[in-house]
Structure 1
Amino acid sequence: MPITLEADLSGARIDVFLAGKLPALSRSGVQRLLERGLVTYKGAPVRKNHKVEPGEVFEVSLPAPVPTETAAQEIPLDVVYEDGDVIAVNKPRGMVVHPAPGHLDGTLVNALLHHCGDSLSGIGGALRPGIVHRIDKDTSGLVIAAKNDAAHLSLSAQLKNRSLSRVYEAVVIGAVKDDAGTVDAPIGRHPTDRKRQTVTAKGRSAVTHYEVIARYSGYTHVRCRLETGRTHQIRVHMAHIGHPVLGDLVYGRKKPEKGLAGQCLHARELKFIHPGTGEQIALQTALPAYFTEVLRKLGNTI
């Protein structure tokens, strides 16, 4: 079913306008829709160089989902919330969210395909059906997926306008000086290591709010609220202020500590506006066993 969008600005290129209105699609994705004639104005395909004017009404036809070659696998899921539009799961540490080179199966997507069948949105493409946002392989916690395109578009818009709230807990190295603070530092790809992110003036805006939960000798238990959602954001920002996440071998110390096989970082809370009902949904998970074991090993608070 086509999506109807009315222009509310003047002079912008059609691809820029649509990318702003359809945050689930990149600008290149919008350009592909234009090339295929899937964006029309008064029944005629819109040219890529069209400049929008207020009041123009465009019809956007999203293509049918591409049949996925990703295999459905019967992998246990810790489902925290599910209905006909969305599903939220508590991802274990060590599970990759979607297939990628080196991780072609055993992912959250493989598990979701088995659990949900054909009820996953197709906007993310063949390798990422339903996936609205990701968390790292070695980060545990809440991930939400969409079961249809309308839900996907709604949740993606909430990510963009920051009404979808994500709160993490982490153990970081060192004594964080202030009880609360904000890291406002742009993040982009590292200039020499393509697998790393870094704080750079050429990066995209990134804001992380943190507060101290408890202090231990040489470590601090913190809560982090994301205002933006850049790759590795909490890990990069905490390392940037001199307090890398415990167990993070990429941005922190290069040897494992406290028996960890990955960073001590858990996506604990998730709030969003339900795409169908408009109700605010607030979800929370308990800290996983690996996290509580780290706190036990750290001993008494100070």
Structure 2
Amino acid sequence: MCPGEVSGRGGTAQTGCHRCGHAVLLGTMSTERSHTVPETENGSRLDAFVARVLRDGNGCGVRAAKRLIEDGAVLVDGKPRPAQFKLRTGNVVAVHREIPPSSPDTLVLAGIGGEYLAFAKPAGLHTARIAGSAEPSLEQALAAQWETVRKSPLLPEHHPIPDVLRAVLGPLPHEESTTVPALPPEPPALLSRLDAVTSGIVLAAASDGAASRFRAMEAAGRVCKYYLAVVDGILDTAVSVTNALNTSNRAQTKVLPEADPDPARHTALYPLGEAASFPIPGAAGGTTLAAICIKRGARHQIRAHLAHAGFPICGDTLYGREQGGAPFRLHHARLVIPEFSFFCLPTWLPLTPIV
């Protein structure tokens, strides 16, 4: 199902997928540091201050600091602030950082279909390379490890798909064959980007022609992107959020009162059950495992739309509310294009719910 199909809860038919299933996402570690602003930093910009205090073995430039701020990983006295915010002596700046797995284990293929490759990005790993930062990214890993991946691709394990997911995401067939097509000599170009805190599928194209075809399909509304999230509140019915978005402020997307006339910019939200019934590690009572579908997507669209609907993602300090350190759970689980479908489960979701 995609936005505009909220009333229909049946599965969506699809054509054969070369490989789809459960991709084993590698775990991440997280750190949270609090820094009290000294007198010498009074009046400093938030991004410059974060860059300075995080300069360690991994390094952190101003652009990397801005990315952390935009992802909601930086709070000033418990509140999100823009990168240009001027600090005052005594402010407490808390920085939450996901430490991604190091190379060479970062690259995991979630599937291959024709000239398209789907990579499973773990939470905490940037999608694109950040200038001035030594922090790892999927783009860097592709450049460094592609020759190894071509020779011995790390492919996903196959597992039965839980019925509760099949009912919403549609049938998820996969071929029994383990044959892998010849991969191109040059690293594929990434076609999508996920926030560092978000895990899941990032699609890549093996040729310029494949990239152009994907962009055309996306513009025509023929691409469906399905996410899984743990949201705050008990969601018991499907919700469609049609509000337009203002993304001019990179730090935080604003939800506008008027509807967006383009259905491809809407967000559809479907309940899968109370999160505690699966059980999901770290999920508190009063939370719901939800499926989300978008067709194109704008910056922070899902996070902003869900918060506007009254069901912010748990642990989202930028758009939600403080929840006692609840982990952030947003995962791009399935991508459907006219000829292929890719699927991978997050590590935090058990394969079957408690009966």
- TM-score (norm. length: structure 2): 0.52
1:79 aligns with 2:144: no
> Highest relative contact order (Cα 8 Å, sep 6+), 1 or 2?
2
1:200 aligns with 2:230: no
The equivalent residue for 2:10 is none
Query: How far, CA to CA, are the matches of 1:158 and 1:240 in structure 2?
Result: 28
The equivalent residue for 1:227 is 295
Note the 1:55-134 alignment, pairs <5 A. Answer: 74-82=104-112, 85-101=115-131, 103-116=133-146, 119-120=186-187, 130-134=189-193
Query: How far, CA to CA, are the matches of 2:194 and 2:325 in structure 1?
Result: 22
Total equivalences in the alignment: 204
Query: How far, CA to CA, are the matches of 2:132 and 2:321 in structure 1?
Result: 25
Q: Structure 1 stretches of 5 or more lacking a match?
A: 1-72, 122-129, 274-279
TM-aligned CA deviation for residue 270 of structure 1: 1.1
The equivalent residue for 2:201 is 142
The equivalent residue for 2:241 is 183
Query: How far, CA to CA, are the matches of 1:180 and 1:203 in structure 2?
Result: 18
One-letter amino acid matched to 1:198: K
TM-aligned CA deviation for residue 202 of structure 1: 8.3
The equivalent residue for 1:35 is none
Q: Deviations over 1:186-241 (max 9, x none)?
A: 11126xx5411111258965301111000253111110011331111111100001
Identical aligned pairs, as a percentage? 25
1:268 aligns with 2:326: no
Q: Structure 2 stretches of 5 or more lacking a match?
A: 1-102, 148-184, 276-284
Aligned with 1:186: secondary structure?
strand
The equivalent residue for 1:15 is none
One-letter amino acid matched to 2:241: V
Note the 1:206-285 alignment, pairs <5 A. Answer: 206-215=265-274, 217-254=285-322, 256-258=324-326, 260=327, 263-273=328-338, 280-285=339-344
Distance 1:234 1:87, change over 3 A: same
Q: Deviations over 1:16-35 (max 9, x none)?
A: xxxxxxxxxxxxxxxxxxxx
Contact 1:140 1:265 in 2 (8 A): yes
One-letter amino acid matched to 2:321: R
Q: Deviations over 1:124-161 (max 9, x none)?
A: xxxxxx12111111111111011211111011112211
Contact 2:247 2:298 in 1 (8 A): no
- TM-score (norm. length: structure 1): 0.60
Contact 1:75 1:106 in 2 (8 A): no
TM-aligned CA deviation for residue 83 of structure 1: 6.3
Contact 2:127 2:138 in 1 (8 A): yes
TM-aligned CA deviation for residue 256 of structure 1: 4.9
Distance 1:256 1:92, change over 3 A: farther
Query: How far, CA to CA, are the matches of 1:105 and 1:203 in structure 2?
Result: 38
